[in-house]
C-alpha cells in the first residue's frame, strides 16, 4: 500500500486494541485498494508548498465558512476539542470506465488541522470496468485495515468515532447486510481538534499525488452529529474538493436540518 510517510509524528504511539465484530478484519492489502491511503488530511489549495490542513475562504456562490481541498469534501467541525462524531450514509453505485479510480466515504476525528486521523467508512473503487465495494477503518498514519464483510451499492451504513483519554472507539455497521464492527485503539498525542463527515479521493499515487476520484452516484449523508448535537450547531466548514486548476471534482449541498447533505460526483481529476 503506497503511502506518504513524509511527516513523522514524533511521540505518536499507536497500539491497536481489540476488535469485537460480526465478521473479520485484515491488514493485508487487497487490490485495487492496495494503492490508497484514506487520508493525509485535506490538502489545501494554496500557492506554494502543499499543506496538510485547510484554510477557510469565501467560496464563490457558497457559504462564508468554506474551504477548498484536493482530496476531501463534506463538513468539518473545527476550532475546538471534540470527543465523538457519527453519521449515516448510503453506499453509492460506482460507474467504471476502464481505468483505476477510487472514492471513500467516512466519519472521523482529526485531520483538518492536525496530522493524525481516526476514521472508519466505506469505499467504491474501479478496477478496470469493475466496481469494487468494501469497508475499512484507519488510525492514520498507521495502515488502513479492510473489513472482509460484503458491501453492495445501496447498503445503509452508520459510523462513529469517539475518544476517551487516549482510547478511540470506531464503530461501523452495514444495517442492510446485517454486520457491524467495533474497534478500540490507543493513540497518544492526537489533537481531537476536528470532527468530519467526508467524501474523499484517497491518496496516493507513486509520486505522492491524489488518486483519480471514482464516478459515484450521489451520496446522501444524514444524522451527522458531533458530541451528541447536530454538526450544523458547530458552524462547520464546508469543504469543497477541487482539482489542481481549482475546478470542483464534486459538489456538496447545504446542510439540511443541520445534519444532512449530499455529495455529487462531477469529475475524476
Give pLDDT, residue 232.
97
pTM, full prediction: 0.83
Residue range 153-185, pLDDT digits in tens: 999 999 999 999 999 999 999 999 999 999 999
Q: Is the pLDDT of residue 37 over 80?
A: no
Residue range 210-229, pLDDT digits in tens: 999 999 999 999 999 999 99
Closest CA to 139 of 182, 184, 181: 184
Q: Is the pLDDT of residue 21 over 90?
A: no
Q: Is the pLDDT of residue 27 over 60?
A: no
Residue range 85-131, pLDDT digits in tens: 999 999 999 999 989 999 999 999 999 989 899 999 999 999 999 99
The residue written with cell numbers 511527516 in the block is 7
Q: Which of 69 and 4 is assigned the larger pLDDT? A: 69
Are residues 257 and 83 in contact, defined by beta-carbon separation less than 8 angstroms? no
Amino acid at each position: 500500500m503506497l503511502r506518504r510517510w513524509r511527516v513523522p509524528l514524533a511521540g505518536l504511539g499507536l497500539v491497536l486494541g481489540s476488535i469485537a465484530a460480526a465478521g473479520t478484519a485484515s491488514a493485508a492489502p487487497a487490490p485495487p485498494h492496495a494503492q490508497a491511503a484514506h487520508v493525509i488530511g485535506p490538502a489545501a489549495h494554496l500557492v506554494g508548498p502543499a499543506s496538510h490542513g485547510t484554510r477557510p475562504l469565501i467560496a464563490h456562490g457558497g457559504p462564508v465558512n468554506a474551504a477548498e481541498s484536493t482530496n476531501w469534501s463534506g463538513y468539518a467541525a473545527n476550532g475546538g476539542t471534540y470527543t465523538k462524531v457519527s453519521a449515516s450514509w448510503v453506499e453509492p453505485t460506482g460507474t467504471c470506465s476502464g481505468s483505476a479510480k477510487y472514492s471513500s466515504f467516512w466519519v472521523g476525528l482529526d485531520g483538518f488541522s492536525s496530522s493524525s486521523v481516526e476514521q472508519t467508512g466505506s469505499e467504491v473503487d474501479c478496477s478496470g470496468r469493475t466496481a469494487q465495494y468494501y469497508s475499512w477503518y484507519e488510525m492514520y498514519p498507521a495502515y488502513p485495515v479492510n473489513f472482509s464483510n460484503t458491501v453492495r451499492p445501496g447498503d445503509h451504513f452508520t459510523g462513529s468515532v469517539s475518544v476517551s483519554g487516549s482510547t478511540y472507539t470506531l464503530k461501523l455497521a452495514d444495517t442492510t447486510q446485517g454486520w457491524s464492527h467495533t474497534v478500540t485503539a490507543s493513540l497518544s498525542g492526537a489533537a481531537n481538534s476536528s470532527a468530519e463527515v467526508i467524501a474523499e479521493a484517497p491518496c496516493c499515487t507513486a509520486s505522492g499525488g491524489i488518486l483519480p476520484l471514482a464516478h459515484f452516484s450521489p451520496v446522501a449523508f444524514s444524522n451527522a452529529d458531533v458530541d451528541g448535537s447536530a454538526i450544523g450547531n458547530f458552524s462547520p466548514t464546508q469543504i469543497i474538493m477541487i482539482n489542481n486548476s481549482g475546478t470542483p471534482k464534486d459538489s456538496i449541498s447545504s446542510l439540511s436540518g443541520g445534519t444532512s447533505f449530499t455529495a455529487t460526483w462531477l469529475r475524476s481529476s
